[in-house]
Chains A and B, each alone.
Chain A
Amino acid sequence: MAKGPLVLPAFLVLAAAAMAVLLLVALSTRLSPLPYSQVQPEGYKLRRWWFVILSLGLVAIFAVTLPWFPYPPLRAAAHATKNGTLYVKVIAQQYAFTTPSVLPLDRRIVFEVTSLDVNHGFGIYDPRGQIVAQVQAMPDYINHLPVTFTRAGHYTVRCLEYCGIGHASMQGGFDVR
């Protein structure tokens, strides 16, 4: 669920690779110089590969990761009758959240999130302190956030959109069991 901790190693590896390439290019100026007319055609040939690999790679990542997009099905109403989804209203307001205090384990929950004043963010942190889900809480709109909790314990809710002076203290929570 929480992917945050995986992101950092991935980032560091990719960043190190990019830095290594740029460093090598910088260090190459210590070697005997080559005329540009020799460097350029080779570089352009290599670039074609980079272009193809990067384009295909990015599009592939988009396609392959589609199942992990957190959005609810577009026809939510048709979905409502299925498999006992629990609908839970969440109301955000400077500087508190209104949520039930207990929620069920292993059951599909759809949070219906809105705000009474400004934009807030409804961020759910699991008992280990990792973000597992979030959605914006907006005035005049209701955002539907589907979540299934698979770990029991106390979940903390933090505001994830700047909402004024009390933003950092805007917290809530519920128990999952």
Chain B
Amino acid sequence: MTAARRVLWTYLLTGIAVFTLMMLLGIAMRAEQARWVAFGPQIFYAMLTLHGAGMITSVALCGMGGLWYLMRQEGELSAGAALVAYALVVLGVVAVLLSVFPGGFAAGWTFLYPLPFVGATWPSWATGTFLIGIMLVSLGWTAWCFQMLAFTLTRYGGWAGASGWNLVFKRDAEPHEAPPPQSIAAFVVAVDGVLTGMAGMTIGVALIAHWLSPSVLVDPLWAKNVTFFFGHAFANLTIYMALGWVYVGMARYTGREYHTTKILAIAWWATLVFVAIAYFHHLYMDFVQYRPLQYVGEIASYLSAIPATAVSVWGSMLLVYRSRMRWTLGSIFLFTGLVGWVVGGIGALLDASIPLNFDLHNTLWVPAHFHTYLLGGVFLFALGLIYMQLEERSGRCSPPLLRWIIGLTTFGGMTVFLLGFYVAGANGVPRRYAIEPSPGPLTASWATVGALLLLLGLIVVLIEAIRLARLPAQDPA
């Protein structure tokens, strides 16, 4: 295995391992909400905290590894630097894990000030360990972003080259060629990523300071803004990282070429801005927030649909339309990931409408839509990447019957699981309730069945992946 592949698989396998653990926690939580099991709120909220932090980190790891690998094919990248970032993130994950089990930290992965410190049922060291863990994750993330930034800036001729500015305004920038779509994605993610990393460190240190000396007080509204800026953008960027290989994969499976166009570059500039300012929608129900920011939040959330659908989804659809698409598990996962992304986006747009948010804010509608594009989108993109690698390496793909089995269990289970969230959310069942009011327990029951079906499907996916991985490599690459 080449060094580049080793980096890729280190990231991917760690991501998938963390994902698997977190999925089991997710099922346990849903079963508790269905009242099939009773761990009690203490354990429920510890699981919720770990699941949120762990899942986002798991897909981020997949995204970081995948996009790094794509960039590695565009030029010289140091595996050492990628592993520095990896080590920091993994150390962070271990700290978060320890803070929750056995520590019992349960203030939610959003650790909204001052909750980690007030009414805690866990020891103080757990709070500190959790915060340090989050800090390490953002350090590793920021280091990764700096590496991507350095790469794209030097490879494509500075800001004007890497952002696509030269391309859009037809400025000849010899000797640098225009960046391919995945490089534009890497550049935009890196810029926004440095911003999120900064915010993460600022709020992290503020909370650690309060932890060590409680006389340091923090403004709760400021804390909310900074925390959600960090959390929202970090979660959001996992999708945009994955798009890098969706572009590449779609082009490979359809045998068509996908180039950077002016429109694509401009769309990514828009995305860069929207990712940074859409987070205001998390504060819609904070009426004291400076009012114009509420409007900015709604408009930015709305408009982010334009680059997403008109460029990334549209471009992928054009690649596929009446092409010689090879429908293997790899391409199926990439394509259905698009479906999850769009459908989750529709749920998000509804929730981003302030009059509707008044009824939906912090109901199960929120996990409904973000699970649709994180589980049904980013995670499927990650599976797509894994299968794409395995299929290319072995030159084989999975038999049709298996594709049907996996399709029915995975997507069927996922749909049932997600519908449980949507129906309950529309009926006002709050999110983050260990014990839900009606119709919560009912919808949680079928959601749990759906999640178990999904688990079954994913076990088949795993076994099939192992089978493909053990086939001899087609060429010595």
Direct contact of A and B (CB under 8 A): yes
Pairwise interchain contact B323-A18, C-beta atoms closer than 8 A: no
Given A117-B119, A118-B115; A14-B339 close (CB under 8 Å): no
CB distance from B47 to the nearest CB of A (A): 12
- Contact partner, B361, options A10, A31, A134, A138, Cβ 8 Å: A134
Q: Is the C-beta of A141 less than 8 angstroms from some C-beta in chain B?
A: yes
Pairwise interchain contact A4-B428, C-beta atoms closer than 8 A: yes
**Complex contacts, B150 vs chain A, CB 8 Å:** none
Q: Is the C-beta of B78 less than 8 angstroms from some C-beta in chain A?
A: no
Pairwise interchain contact B287-A43, C-beta atoms closer than 8 A: no
- Contact partner, B427, options A4, A43, A58, A135, Cβ 8 Å: A4
The CA of A142 and the CA of B289, in the complex, are separated in Å by 11
Please classify how large the interface on chain A is, using the bins under 10, 10 to 19, 20 to 34, 35 or more.
Answer: 35 or more
Please classify how large the interface on chain B is, using the bins under 10, 10 to 19, 20 to 34, 35 or more.
Answer: 35 or more
Question: Taking CB as reference atom, which chain A residue is nearest B368?
Answer: A11
Pairwise interchain contact A29-B224, C-beta atoms closer than 8 A: no
Pairwise interchain contact A135-B287, C-beta atoms closer than 8 A: yes
Pairwise interchain contact B343-A94, C-beta atoms closer than 8 A: no
Pairwise interchain contact B358-A133, C-beta atoms closer than 8 A: yes
Given A33-B322, A33-B324; A138-B286 close (CB under 8 Å): yes
CB distance from A144 to the nearest CB of B (A): 6
Q: Mark A28-69, 1 if CB is under 8 A from B, else 0.
A: 110111101001100110010011001100110110010011
Q: Is the C-beta of B450 less than 8 angstroms from some C-beta in chain A?
A: no
CB distance from B423 to the nearest CB of A (A): 7
Q: Is the C-beta of A176 less than 8 angstroms from some C-beta in chain B?
A: no
Pairwise interchain contact A131-B428, C-beta atoms closer than 8 A: yes
Given A7-B426, A50-B309; A70-B354 close (CB under 8 Å): yes
Pairwise interchain contact A139-B114, C-beta atoms closer than 8 A: yes
Within 8 A of A (CB), among B112-159: 112, 114-115, 118-121
Pairwise interchain contact B119-A167, C-beta atoms closer than 8 A: no
- Contact partner, A43, options B110, B318, B432, Cβ 8 Å: B318
Pairwise interchain contact A71-B299, C-beta atoms closer than 8 A: no
- Contact partner, B285, options A21, A31, A135, Cβ 8 Å: A135
Question: Taking CB as reference atom, which chain A residue is nearest B218?
Answer: A140
- Contact partner, B112, options A3, A119, A133, Cβ 8 Å: A119
Pairwise interchain contact B321-A39, C-beta atoms closer than 8 A: yes
**Complex contacts, A29 vs chain B, CB 8 Å:** 320-325, 327
Given A61-B302, A70-B358, A134-B285; A54-B310 close (CB under 8 Å): yes
Question: Taking CB as reference atom, which chain B residue is nearest A156?
Answer: B437
Q: Is the C-beta of B435 less than 8 angstroms from some C-beta in chain A?
A: yes
Within 8 A of A (CB), among B51-72: none
Stretch at the interface among B13-21, B195-203, B345-353: B345-353
Q: Is the C-beta of A99 less than 8 angstroms from some C-beta in chain B?
A: no
Pairwise interchain contact A54-B288, C-beta atoms closer than 8 A: no
- Contact partner, A160, options B354, B361, B435, Cβ 8 Å: B361
Pairwise interchain contact B430-A39, C-beta atoms closer than 8 A: no
Pairwise interchain contact A71-B287, C-beta atoms closer than 8 A: yes
Question: Taking CB as reference atom, which chain B residue is nearest A12?
Answer: B422
The CA of A41 and the CA of B118, in the complex, are separated in Å by 60
Given A4-B427, A138-B288, A141-B288; A28-B320 close (CB under 8 Å): yes
Q: Is the C-beta of A175 less than 8 angstroms from some C-beta in chain B?
A: no
Q: Is the C-beta of A78 less than 8 angstroms from some C-beta in chain B?
A: no
Q: Is the C-beta of A145 less than 8 angstroms from some C-beta in chain B?
A: yes
The CA of A55 and the CA of B318, in the complex, are separated in Å by 21
Given A71-B291, A94-B119, A118-B112; A19-B339 close (CB under 8 Å): yes
Q: Is the C-beta of B306 less than 8 angstroms from some C-beta in chain A?
A: yes
Q: Is the C-beta of B256 less than 8 angstroms from some C-beta in chain A?
A: yes
Question: Taking CB as reference atom, which chain A residue is nearest B438?
Answer: A129
Interface residue ranges, B against A (CB under 8 Å) = 41-42, 45, 106-108, 110, 112, 114-115, 118-121, 219-221, 224, 256-257, 285-288, 291, 294-295, 298-299, 302-303, 305-306, 309-310, 314, 317-325, 327, 335, 338-339, 342-343, 346-347, 350, 353-356, 358-363, 365, 422-423, 425-428, 430, 432-438
Q: List 16 A-B contacts (CB under 8 A).
A: A4-B425, A4-B427, A29-B320, A43-B314, A58-B306, A59-B302, A69-B355, A121-B362, A130-B427, A134-B361, A135-B285, A136-B285, A158-B437, A167-B434, A168-B433, A168-B435
Closest 7 CB pairs of A and B: A68-B355, A8-B426, A168-B433, A43-B318, A29-B325, A131-B428, A58-B302
